[in-house]
Structure 1
Amino acid sequence: MKRVVVVTGLSGAGKTTAMGFLEDLGYFCVDNVPGSILEELLKLFISSDLEKMAIAVDVRSEHFSDPVEVIGRIKEKTNALIVFLEASKEELLRRYALTRRRHPLQKGDVGLEEAIEKEKQILLSIKEMADFVIDTTKMPPHQLREILGHSLMNQSGGISLRILSFGFKHGIPMDADFIFDVRFLPNPHYVPELSLKTGLDREVEEYFKKYSLVDEFVSKIFEVLRAAVKEYQKSGRRIVTVGIGCTGGRHRSVYVVHKLAEMLKKEGFSVVERHRDLEKV
């Protein structure tokens, strides 16, 4: 079965990293494709012996007049997986300052911030039609590769759940479809012998088992996600990102995410378990 991945999104958000990873996986990668030659490219791929192709589509090409139409045609002809990468404006400004590269829309008297905002508006419709959106603001390259790899395993069908623990004091994950706040649960941080441990440690698990509220709330989240996933599957959604947050992202959110992942896996769901702020103080 032919497999096509379209990598799109904001300039500076990680498309080069994503395409490099796909190339390592054996995908035939084509970057900066003008819409005018897309039809011929797809025909060649369909008639060739190639099984996997990745196409980067963005605003760099001067012929990129209608990105929604371009990606819509790819989706129609190949049932491609659409990956949209984004990052905060502050992070994009920082990355451009480090690389000293010019934004593709930064021409004439258009400044960098204005170019970023303009690109967001151009690509807004593509973001809405994407199979999944990845916010790379606080994401190192190896995590982006991990998320892409897991999603590709589910390209032929089914739905993948990405469950992420985080600390509110470190910022909310902007790519989450659901956010659950567990800061009302008992906090082992204030127990001296547990403060330096994490929600993955046996001692912390034993602490939470003393409180029926914890398991009750985990069960309620589980029921919500199970019901939501069934509806998402009807619409063809391929990945759902769930954020579970506590204050620092080391104890309560980590424990809840780990327990949810165990429960969902037992139900046959494909699950990626991540702990964003586990090592932060």
Structure 2
Amino acid sequence: MVDSAGSVSAPPRQLIIVSGLSGSGKSVALRTLEDLGYYCVDNLPAALIPALVEAGTPGQLAVGVDVRNHAEQRDKLPKVLGELARLGVAYRLVFLDARDDVLIKRYAETRRRHPLSEQGLSLAEALAEERRLLRPLVALADRVVDTSTLNVHQLRRLVITEMDLAPGSVTLLCESFAYRHGVPPEADFMFDARQLPNPHWEAALRPLSGKDAPVREWLGARPEVVAYADDIHGFLQRWLRGFDASGRGYLTICIGCTGGRHRSVYLAECLAERLRGEYGQVLTYHRELA
């Protein structure tokens, strides 16, 4: 590729094409890639992928291609992949799948409409037609992932770890949760914030979360909250180095409180802000706010 100054520019280090069935988790996967520094474009016509690459978008790219692409666009994908190879672009096509009963349940919970429902099809019929239309993409996929048993957090974890997409040192996920809804089974470190002052008992703060400025200011003014945040950070500063040196790729740091809305969210956000200055990839996930 040649830039406007006439010099040859390097292609993106990596292009991820995310496809799959509607409701299988494509949006979650793309948001996770965006958190990892990818430039993401959803529902891009397949024929435009080489143009996006040649436009010189810096860094790594991820595009979503699914049944919303017209048939003629999906049919062009094999030719598009050949063009990417000619350009010297390292690409991977990841296809997300799930069982029909799981997809139907997800649609019932979210009340979303299937992209093919406007054709007068029932949800079951739309899923069957979507599987038929996307069968060629499954054959082209480098990786097919069944998300039937995965929640949002587990899918994010899979994208980051098993696909080896996070560059550099260990990737950290700071997760908040509510103890009354159970502890996260994936936790590597877990801290309990239930002993701290609770904004829930302040009427003006109750409907807000630990991401909102009034709650952050209220908690940040409490010396015991500040001391607890300092202690967690100090503990992790000491012990995370060992995981980094051992080549561990991913760690989940969980902070819980009673409702999972105020104290744990605030502490997870504060911790992530501090750790981003020390580690290349630090993500946050708030289970009860998702």
TM-score (norm 1): 0.51
CA RMSD of aligned residues (A): 4.7
Residue matched to 1:32: none
* 1:215 equivalent in alignment to 2:226: yes
* 1:276 equivalent in alignment to 2:287: yes
Partner-residue secondary structure (3-state), 2:235:
helix
Q: 1:54 to 1:180 in 2, by over 3 A?
A: farther
Structure 2 counterparts to residues 73-112 of structure 1, below 5 A: 95=102
* 1:244 equivalent in alignment to 2:283: no
Structure 1: 5+ residue stretches without partners: 6-13, 27-47, 57-91, 100-133
Equivalent of 1:159 in 148, 154, 170: 170
Deviations 1:203-248 (A, max 9, x none): 1122113321111111111122222221111211111111111111
Residue matched to 2:267: 256
Equivalent of 1:199 in 210, 225, 228: 210
Residue matched to 2:90: 51
Contact 2:199/2:218, CA 8 A, preserved across alignment: yes
Instruction: Name the aligned partner's letter for residue 51 of structure 1.
Output: A
Structure 2 counterparts to residues 93-132 of structure 1, below 5 A: 95=102
Q: What is the deviation of 1:196?
A: 1.0
Structure 2: 5+ residue stretches without partners: 1-11, 17-22, 34-41, 43-61, 64-85, 107-146
Distance 1:237 1:227 in 2: 16
Equivalent of 1:139 in 149, 152, 157: 152
Q: 1:194 to 1:53 in 2, by over 3 A?
A: closer
Q: What is the deviation of 1:191?
A: 1.1
Equivalent of 1:226 in 213, 229, 237: 237
Distance 1:180 1:240 in 2: 14
Partner-residue secondary structure (3-state), 1:277:
helix
Q: 1:54 to 1:184 in 2, by over 3 A?
A: same
Q: What is the deviation of 1:156?
A: 4.2
Q: 1:52 to 1:228 in 2, by over 3 A?
A: farther
Distance 2:198 2:217 in 1: 13
Distance 2:180 2:222 in 1: 25
Q: What is the deviation of 1:201?
A: 1.5
Residue matched to 1:266: 277
TM-score (norm 2): 0.49
Instruction: Name the aligned partner's letter for residue 200 of structure 1.
Output: K
Residue matched to 1:185: 196
Distance 2:25 2:199 in 1: 41
Based on CA coordinates, which of the two structures has the bigger radius of gyration? 2
Q: How many residue pairs align between the two structures? A: 187
Equivalent of 1:173 in 184, 187, 196: 184
Contact 1:188/1:204, CA 8 A, preserved across alignment: yes
Q: What is the deviation of 1:17?
A: 6.4
Contact 2:170/2:279, CA 8 A, preserved across alignment: no
Residue matched to 1:104: none
Q: 1:156 to 1:188 in 2, by over 3 A?
A: closer
